[in-house]
């Protein structure tokens, strides 16, 4: 399923990620999953939340540099081999993965994938 | 040792008389040969006859770097082209470079004042002296070169670059003196370490350091690592080049060669002349220059002038260390950098907000420049590769405009402090005092 992910640009500065968490907390927005990518001088926080539009609005009003990116969210059984099966299908169809992260939820796991072609990838896994 | 006691130890009274006479002659000369000055004086209702003593200098117009640019290339030249024997140029910033033409007499004066400096540093005809300022359009190399020759020491025109070969020459030719920037002196020390050569294996004993601001701590470090004594030498190409002022053995300010370069300190806002001892902008009038004489040239360097007696015997006025600039020019690793250069690059790139901050620091005695810039909202990307590519595009452009590398920091929109009124674009963390 294609879902919308928040991508937030963060300067490397102590406490900056805290501000994002605080703004979301104050507005009652729960973070379901996130990953943090870093370079020597800035970071990208990637975030899955239930109410994307509200999150964008409150973050932008606090001058946070937030973008919305389409990603693929795949729910699969939380057992060995299920991720491998998904990735093999994508590789077999020449889909390149830019980044991915996952979180488990008891019996199932959710894998967030950013492929080079979101729609094609969604079609393959449908 | 004093090279020219006649001039360097002249009584204050006689010096002022000499300066007055030279100023009168200079004003006549520029009034009749430089339309720029004639027009300015006429606008101010001043005629050459109004200048009788050196105190009358306050009636004369100022000259700025912008005037030099506006009159590029030869507009302020007073001597006919046939009399000019050499031309130097100072680095252009956003505009035209400054072109300075010298007559044969100008070059002789330059050699004379350089020789006074070297003699004050303890250099004699028995020394072998390496000139490691750049040779070329920059005044440092050739200016120091002819001073060493005039003194009668042996000059090694090493220029800059090829440091290992240079160090071998210092050792093998028993070079005893060197003129270079203080940062190059530290680089020499590092290279010495890398080559495994101890300072006891080289015979350097005197260093003439200038062309960029430096600190007492740098002096101590250079002195201990190279085993020499370091002296400050000051100059600027618009006025002459190196040799405008120099430290004596007392090292309490730099003696100005004021029979050739008349110094004033002014309040940079009101342009009023300030008394000795007060801090302000340093202004020079070239009392004897023929090629491109300047009236009251505003150096933008901030310092104080001292006229108390110096135990060395010289009577000339001394200038303190430069404590800052009255404009926003930065000297980074010896290169002149104006924030406006960075601004013009950033304004040309739609990816960035017109907000930026230059952070200058000195890490291990090497100047560093960081450019902080805000990325426009529409140009953020979830793709790290494209963000890094954006950063590199800016780095590359800055490098080609500034001639030095800058560390670019991408910032969030709104994160750089907005100034009230006049924008503040520089944080200089270097401790230069």
**CB distance B411–A98 less than 8 Å?**
no
Query: Does any CB of chain A come closer than 8 Å to the CB of residue B414?
Result: yes
Residue A62 and residue A115 in one domain: no
Of B380, B383, B391, the CB nearest to A65: B380
Residue B258 and residue B375 in one domain: no
**CB distance B412–A63 less than 8 Å?**
yes
Give chain B's domain count. 2
| CATH number of the domain enclosing B297 | 3.40.50.12780
Residue A6 and residue A63 in one domain: yes
Residue B349 and residue B285 in one domain: no
Residue B317 and residue B411 in one domain: no
For B67, the domain range is 1-327
End position of a domain, from candidates B294, B327, B360: B327
Per-residue pLDDT of chain B (433 residues; tens, 9 = 90+): 999 999 999 999 999 999 999 999 999 999 999 999 999 999 999 999 999 999 999 999 999 999 998 999 999 999 999 999 999 998 655 567 889 999 999 999 999 999 999 999 999 999 999 999 989 998 999 999 999 999 999 999 999 889 999 999 999 999 999 999 888 898 899 899 999 999 999 999 999 999 877 888 889 989 999 999 999 999 999 999 999 999 999 999 999 999 999 999 999 999 999 999 999 999 999 999 999 999 999 999 999 999 999 999 999 999 998 888 888 888 887 778 888 788 888 988 999 988 889 999 988 778 899 999 999 888 999 999 999 999 999 999 999 888 889 999 999 887 887 755 456 788 888 876 4
Residue B305 and residue B404 in one domain: no
What is the pLDDT at residue B95? 61
Restricting to B residues 374-413, those with a Cβ less than 8 Å away from any Cβ of A are 375, 377, 380-384, 387-388, 391, 409-413
Interface test with B, best of A40, A41, A116 (most B CBs within 10 A): A41
Residue A59 and residue A22 in one domain: yes
**CB distance A39–B384 less than 8 Å?**
yes
Residue A42 and residue A97 in one domain: no
Q: Which residues of A are less than 8 Å from B382 in CB distance? A: 5, 7, 44, 46, 67, 69, 114
Residue A12 and residue A63 in one domain: yes
Residue B175 and residue B256 in one domain: yes
Residue B278 and residue B342 in one domain: no
Residue A60 and residue A86 in one domain: no
Query: Does any CB of chain A come closer than 8 Å to the CB of residue B417?
Result: no
Q: How far, CA to CA in Å, does B422 sit from each of B301, B328, B419?
A: 21, 12, 7
For the stretch A46-79, pLDDT in tens is 999 999 999 999 999 988 999 999 999 999 999 9
Interface test with A, best of B412, B413, B417 (most A CBs within 10 A): B412
**CB distance B413–A114 less than 8 Å?**
no
End position of a domain, from candidates B327, B352, B376: B327
Residue B129 and residue B272 in one domain: yes
Residue A111 and residue A92 in one domain: yes
Residue B296 and residue B344 in one domain: no
End position of a domain, from candidates B286, B310, B327: B327
Give chain A's domain count. 2
Residue A53 and residue A16 in one domain: yes
What is the pLDDT at residue B19? 98
Residue B53 and residue B132 in one domain: yes
Residue B228 and residue B308 in one domain: yes
Contacts A–B by Cβ distance under 8 A: 43
Residue B285 and residue B336 in one domain: no
| CATH number of the domain enclosing B338 | 3.30.300.30
Q: Which residues of A are less than 8 Å from B377 in CB distance? A: 65
Q: Which residues of A are less than 8 Å from B381 in CB distance? A: 67
**CB distance B414–A98 less than 8 Å?**
no
**CB distance A63–B414 less than 8 Å?**
yes
For A103, the domain range is 71-125
Q: Which residues of B are less than 8 Å from A46 in CB distance? A: 382
| CATH number of the domain enclosing A99 | 3.30.2130.10
What is the pLDDT at residue B274? 97
Residue A48 and residue A82 in one domain: no
Residue B305 and residue B348 in one domain: no
Residue A40 and residue A92 in one domain: no
Residue A33 and residue A84 in one domain: no
């Amino acid at each position: 399923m294609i879902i919308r992910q928040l991508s937030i640009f963060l300067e490397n500065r102590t406490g900056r990620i805290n501000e994002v968490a605080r703004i979301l907390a104050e507005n009652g927005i729960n973070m379901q999953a996130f990953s943090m990518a870093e370079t020597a001088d800035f970071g990208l926080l990637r975030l899955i939340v239930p109410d994307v539009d509200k999150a964008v609005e409150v973050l932008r009003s606090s001058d946070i540099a937030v973008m919305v990116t389409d990603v693929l969210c795949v729910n699969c059984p939380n057992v060995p081999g299920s991720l491998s099966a998904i990735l093999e299908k994508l590789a077999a169809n020449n889909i390149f993965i830019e980044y991915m992260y996952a979180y488990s939820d008891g019996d199932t796991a959710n894998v967030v994938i950013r492929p080079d072609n979101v729609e094609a990838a969604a079609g393959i896994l449908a | 040792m004093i090279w020219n006691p006649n001039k360097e130890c002249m009584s204050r009274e006689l010096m002022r008389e000499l300066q007055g006479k030279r100023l009168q002659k200079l004003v006549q000369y520029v009034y009749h040969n430089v339309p720029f000055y004639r027009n300015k004086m006429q606008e101010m209702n001043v005629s050459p006859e109004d200048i009788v003593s050196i105190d009358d200098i306050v009636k004369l117009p100022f000259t700025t770097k912008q005037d030099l640019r506006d009159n590029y290339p030869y507009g302020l030249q007073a001597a006919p082209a046939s009399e000019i024997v050499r031309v130097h140029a100072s680095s252009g910033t956003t505009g035209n470079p400054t072109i300075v033409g010298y007559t044969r007499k100008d070059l002789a004066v330059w050699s004379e004042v350089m020789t006074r400096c070297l003699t004050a540093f303890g250099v004699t005809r028995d020394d072998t002296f390496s000139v490691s300022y750049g040779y070329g359009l920059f005044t440092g190399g050739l200016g120091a070169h002819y001073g060493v020759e005039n003194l009668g020491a042996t000059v090694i025109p090493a220029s800059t670059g090829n440091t290992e070969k240079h160090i071998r020459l210092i050792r093998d030719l028993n070079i005893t003196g060197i003129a270079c920037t203080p940062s190059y002196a530290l680089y020499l020390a590092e290279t010495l370490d890398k080559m495994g050569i101890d300072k006891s294996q080289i015979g350097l004993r005197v260093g003439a350091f200038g062309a960029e601001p430096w600190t007492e701590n740098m002096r101590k470090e250079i002195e201990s690592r190279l085993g020499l004594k370091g002296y400050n030498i000051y100059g600027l190409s618009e006025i002459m080049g190196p040799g405008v002022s120099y430290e004596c053995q007392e090292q309490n300010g730099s003696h100005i060669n004021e029979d050739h370069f008349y110094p004033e300190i002014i309040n940079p806002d009101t342009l009023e002349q300030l008394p000795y001892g007060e801090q302000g902008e340093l202004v020079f009038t070239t009392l004897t220059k023929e090629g491109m004489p300047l009236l009251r040239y505003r150096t933008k360097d901030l310092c104080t002038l001292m006229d108390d007696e110096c135990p060395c015997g010289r009577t000339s006025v001394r200038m303190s260390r430069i404590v800052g600039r009255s404009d926003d020019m930065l000297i980074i690793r010896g290169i002149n950098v104006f924030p406006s250069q960075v601004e013009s690059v950033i304004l040309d790139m739609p990816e960035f907000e017109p907000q930026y901050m230059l952070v200058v620091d000195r890490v291990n005695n090497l100047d560093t420049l960081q450019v902080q810039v805000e990325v426009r909202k529409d140009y953020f990307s979830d793709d790290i590769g494209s963000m890094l590519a954006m950063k590199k595009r800016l780095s590359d452009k800055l490098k080609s405009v500034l001639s030095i590398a800058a560390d670019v920091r991408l910032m969030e929109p709104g994160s750089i402090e907005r100034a009230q009124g006049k924008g503040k674009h520089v944080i200089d963390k270097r401790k230069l005092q």
